Every structure is written in C-alpha cells, then in structure tokens.
Amino acid sequence: MVFTSPPPRSLPPAWVQIAQTQRGGTVWAGTIPNRFVPAARRTALVYLPPHASPTGRYPVVFLLQGFPGSPYSFADGLRLPEAADLLISTHAVPPFVAVMPPAGLTGRFDGEWTGPWERFFVHDVVPWADAHLPVARSPSERAVAGLSAGGYGAVDMGLRHLGMFGTLEAWSGSFTAPHDGSLRHADAATRAAHDPTLLASRKASFVRRLGIRFFLSCGSTHDRATAAGTRAFARLLTAASALARPRRPRRQVLALAADPRARVRTPPLASGPVRPSCGGCLLPPRFS
C-alpha cells in the first residue's frame, strides 16, 4: 500500500510512505543516489517515529541487510516499525530514526558490504541521512547494525571508520574477512584491512578512547559456527581491553529476533560495551 501523504519536508519529493503503524510510526521508500554504482536503483527504507518533528535531532540507527536480501527484511520480516513504536510509546526508548539502505544491483546479490558498497554506505548513505533526515550527527547517537553479512559489514566498516559510529552491532554476523564480494580475489593486505578480528586488536586503544560500544548477538538453534565465532570475538574484545568499567549489561530495547526460539549461549561478560546476547538490538546511550 502506498499512502498519499507528502513526504516530510526534508525527504526528497520522490519518496513515498508505504506503511504507518497504529501508533503513528511511518516507513518511507525511495532511492539514495549512489555515486559508486550509478546503475544501482534499489529501494531504501526509512523509519520515522510517531509525530516526528522535521526540526528534531533524533538518534539514528543504520540497519544493513544480509545477502541475498533487502531492507524489507527489517521493515517487514522483523516488524521494526511496530516494535519501535511500542517501545517509544511506553517510554522504553526515546524516538529514533532508522535508515535501511540496500546493497547489490538486485535482491539476488550475494556479496559483502565491502568495495563499492562500503563506499556507498560511508560516503553516500550517511551524508544523505544527515542532509535529509532529522537526525543527530554526534557519533554517540549514531549506531550501525546488521544481520548476517550485514553484521559483518557493520563491525568491519565501524572499525575501519572510527569516529563515525558510537555503537557497532552484529546479529549473527561474522568477524573474519570473507572470500566473496570485492574480497574474492583480494591480496593478504586487503583482506587484513577488512578483518574485524585483526582490526579490533590493532585499534583497541582507539576504540577504548572513543568509547565505542559493541553489541553481539547470536542464536544457537541452527548455526553453531556463527555462535562460536560470536563468542570468540567477544573474548577478543575483552582480552584487548576494549571494555569500560564493570557494570551490568543494559537491557535490550528492540526485540528483533529472527528466531524467537533462540537461546542465549554466549558467555556472560562482566563489563563494558560488549553485550553478547540473542534476539535483540542494543541502542546507543541516548536510545536507552
């Protein structure tokens, strides 16, 4: 269904509203110009909270799809608008904006958020959001999260572009450089530059200085390898001292589990921004 209401003042006129929840949150669809893959015309999605003010400065979370897939995996498959509206209406979180960009020329794309898609996200999507949406521009109020290959992309790009995001999240993600996408035939140096495990070790002091928060989630009902990789990366962050002072983990604030039967199997960490868990999305401080 396409609604007839005009887009918010900041959105380009071609953007259309495609959903509205009972509580008033809206989802908008349109394209974000891609200077690095000019032929890319796939639809991006934006979630705006109920009664969003065009002059507001809301925290923003960028959600990266897995492959193959599309931004609709969040808006439809994980019912982001309904979950977000419920939490906002009950004051569990303040209002926030979510941006869901696409990657790949078609929904069959089975690559990675690397190469031209990394450049599209960092140099086109994030500046576009700053220019067209009522979002805060402080890294502490900007999160990047992703599912599966999107989780790898979120952590990889977040560590490669330190200072852009205050929170990095991987939901059933991976933490080593893959052998596909733009890295299929990459040399060792290029692969090392896209390896979150190596980057976390090499950049631990910068991560600690910037106060970057991590949230890692995984299920254990069907993918033991992903769960093991998530635990290993959590242990690495601990060993690299990329943690703040000991404290109890914050509550999960977006129940976005793809598998609601999944159980938490990651080892408890006693401290800091690393939050291994399952079936949730931890938002930056101002979100929660």
What is the domain-level CATH number for residue 223? 3.40.50.1820
Q: Which residues contact 2 (CB under 8 A, 6 or more apart)?
A: 16, 17, 18
More confident residue, 267 or 18: 18
Read off the pLDDT of each residue in 130-142 and give the average, rounded to a whole number: 94
Dmax (CA) of the chain? 53
Assess whether the previous peptide bond of 68 is cis (omega < 30° from 0).
Answer: yes
Q: Quickly state the pLDDT bin for 119 (edges 50, 70, 90).
A: very high
In a domain, 67, yes or no: yes
Q: How many domains does the chain have?
A: 1
Q: In whole angstroms, what is the distance from residue 26 CA to residue 35 CA?
A: 28
**Residue 10 backbone dihedrals phi, psi, to 5 degrees:** -80, -25
**Residue 286 pLDDT:** 40
Q: Quickly state the pLDDT bin for 73 (edges 50, 70, 90).
A: very high
**Residue 67 pLDDT:** 87
Q: Locate 263 and state its tokens.
A: 């159980």
In a domain, 11, yes or no: no
Read off the pLDDT of each residue in 197-222 and give the average, rounded to a whole number: 87
Read off the pLDDT of each residue in 241-252 and give the average, rounded to a whole number: 42
Read off the pLDDT of each residue in 78-88 and give the average, rounded to a whole number: 92
E strand or H helix that includes residue 116: helix 116-120
In a domain, 4, yes or no: no
In a domain, 286, yes or no: no
More confident residue, 241 or 256: 241
Give the neighbor-by-neighbor strand order of the sheet with 16-20: 16-20, 26-30, 44-48, 97-100, 60-64, 142-147, 167-171, 213-217, 274-277
pTM for this one? 0.84
Q: Quickly state the pLDDT bin for 238 (edges 50, 70, 90).
A: confident
**Residue 182 backbone dihedrals phi, psi, to 5 degrees:** -70, -10
Is 168 strand, coil or helix? strand
In a domain, 170, yes or no: yes
Chain centroid to Cα 129, Å, comes to 14
In a domain, 9, yes or no: no
Read off the pLDDT of each residue in 77-89 and give the average, rounded to a whole number: 91
In a domain, 270, yes or no: yes
Q: Tell which residue, 166, 93, 102, 171, has the closest CA to residue 136.
A: 166
**Residue 110 pLDDT:** 81
Q: Exposure of 54 by Cβ count < 10 A (0-12 exposed, 13-18 middle, 19+ buried)?
A: exposed
Q: Quickly state the pLDDT bin for 8 (edges 50, 70, 90).
A: low
**Mean confidence (pLDDT) of the chain:** 82
Q: Tell which residue, 99, 113, 103, 134, has the closest CA to residue 34.
A: 103
Say yes or no to pLDDT of 280 above 90: no
Q: Locate 180 and state its tokens.
A: 């596909």
**Residue 6 pLDDT:** 55
Read off the pLDDT of each residue in 85-98 and give the average, rounded to a whole number: 93
Q: Cα 67–207–120 angle (5° rounding)? A: 35
**Residue 33 pLDDT:** 95
Secondary structure letter of residue 100 according to DSSP: E
In a domain, 207, yes or no: yes
Q: Quickly state the pLDDT bin for 269 (edges 50, 70, 90).
A: very low
Q: Quickly state the pLDDT bin for 1 (edges 50, 70, 90).
A: low
More confident residue, 221 or 42: 42
Q: Quickly state the pLDDT bin for 217 (edges 50, 70, 90).
A: confident
Determine the structural domain holding residue 116 and report its residue range.
16-277
Q: In whole angstroms, what is the distance from residue 241 CA to residue 205 CA?
A: 8
